[in-house]
Amino acid sequence: MRKWFAFLTIVMIGVFPAEGKASDPGVAARACQLMSEPFKDAREVLSLKEGDTVEILRRKGGWLEVSRKDKTGWVRMLYIRRGGSAEKASAATEASGVLGLATGRAGTGNVVAATGVRGLDEEELKEAEFNEHELQTLKTYRTSKKQAQGFANQAGLQVQKVPFIQTTDGN
């Protein structure tokens, strides 16, 4: 009986994953459209103006599902700044938005990349603030040397020595 209950519990967790997290507040960083689906050519649900507040529900690729005024839709990640106020974002928040890859469809089936990484200027670096939540998220990606070696062995990877490359210009 206990084995059956454990099996059923595992199946239920897999079939009905709990979000476990409330929605996050966000602000439109610039004017944009809320779309019915996470595609550039989807139907427009609502127009957002710069500074409009939204609730971020979830992320799918380079898109965020958000709600505003009882309407729910999708908007590209780079158009939404996380946080509840329309004040200028910190450098860390802006950098995380820039580093998020905004992808979408230009017509049906054509995937395009919309952004690249840009540098931070001195002022943005001075404004940077510590973000405990993002640090904890980053820590979830780490692995031990033993786990990494196990993964490499499982994938059939072999250790290879690569010689150091000398440049001709002396650098």
Domain contains 35: yes
Query: Is beta strand 80-82 parallel, antiparallel or unpaired with respect to 63-68?
Result: unpaired
Domain-located, residue 141: no
Residue type, 28: A
CATH number, position 123: 2.30.30.40
Compute the mean pLDDT over every residue in the chain, rounded to the nearest whole number.
76
Residue 16 lies in a domain: no
Residue 14, classed as helix, strand or coil, is: helix
Domain membership of residue 151 (yes or no) is no
Phi, psi of 59 (to 5 degrees): -120, 140
Question: Does residue 27 sit within a domain?
Answer: yes
Number of domains the chain is built from = 1
93-142 pLDDT, tens digit each: 454 444 444 444 444 444 555 554 466 677 777 888 888 998 998 888 88
Instruction: Give a yes or no: residue 30 inside a domain.
Output: yes
- What is the model's pLDDT at position 54? 93
Q: Would residue 159 count as lying in a domain?
A: no
76-102: average pLDDT: 61
Q: What is the pLDDT of residue 1?
A: 59
Domain of 100 in residue numbering reads as: 23-130
- Whether 2 is in a domain gets the answer no
Higher pLDDT, 49 or 112: 49
